[in-house]
Amino acid sequence: MKENITSELSNALKNGDKERIHTLRLVLAAIKDKEIASRSSGEDSAISDEMIIGLLKKMVKQRNDSIDMFKKAGRDELVQKENSEIEIISEFLPKQLGEKETIAACEEAINLTEAKSLKEIGKVIKYLKENSSPSLDISLASKIIKEKLQNI
């Protein structure tokens, strides 16, 4: 996956796409930081694609949080910048499950964990994180679970 991102950066450099260059450099820097951190903790220096996917999801979440703050401050130009960065980063993420599939996974998790109240939302989310594919949007799942548990 890192090679794919590096290749895309090379293409962006050739095409002179400044916004894409900037975003891809941020992604590669984050990957490099993760590799350095894993090396210093004695782990294998090469990080897996799953770790890169987790890193990319974290970067998207950070940008979504920034968008919320920029909208409140009325900074539309920064909202557009963050949205374009999200689009570029999302190209490297696996396709997310649709809303119907996410609802089905949430209902199954609620049934399997036997959650009966909103107090048990953590147990259900933990189950989903451990037993679902990386293509599940946990933030969407969290909203769905909260809604379902409130109606029990």
Render pLDDT for 82-124 as a digit per residue (tens, 0 to 9).
999 999 998 888 787 778 888 888 888 888 888 888 888 888 8
Percent share of the chain, pLDDT over 70: 97
Q: What CA–CA distance (Å, rounded) separates 105 from 145? A: 10
- Answer for the pair 94, 134: CB distance below 8 angstroms, yes or no: yes
> What are the backbone dihedrals phi and psi of residue 132, each rounded to the nearest 5 degrees, phi first?
-115, 170
CATH number of 99-150: 1.10.10, 3.10.20, 3.40.190, 1.10.3470? 1.10.10
Q: What CA–CA distance (Å, rounded) separates 43 from 36? A: 10
Q: Do domains 2-90 and 99-150 have the same CATH topology?
A: no
User: How far lies 139's CA from each of 42, 43, 96, 122, 145, in Å?
Assistant: 32, 29, 12, 13, 10
Domain definitions of the chain by residue range: 2-90, 99-150
CATH number of 2-90: 1.10.1510.10
- Reported pTM: 0.68
User: Over the stretch 124-151, which tens digit does the pLDDT of each residue have?
Assistant: 888 888 887 777 777 788 888 888 887 7
- Answer for the pair 88, 23: CB distance below 8 angstroms, yes or no: yes
pLDDT band of residue 19 (cuts 50, 70, 90) is very high
The pLDDT of residue 141 is: 83
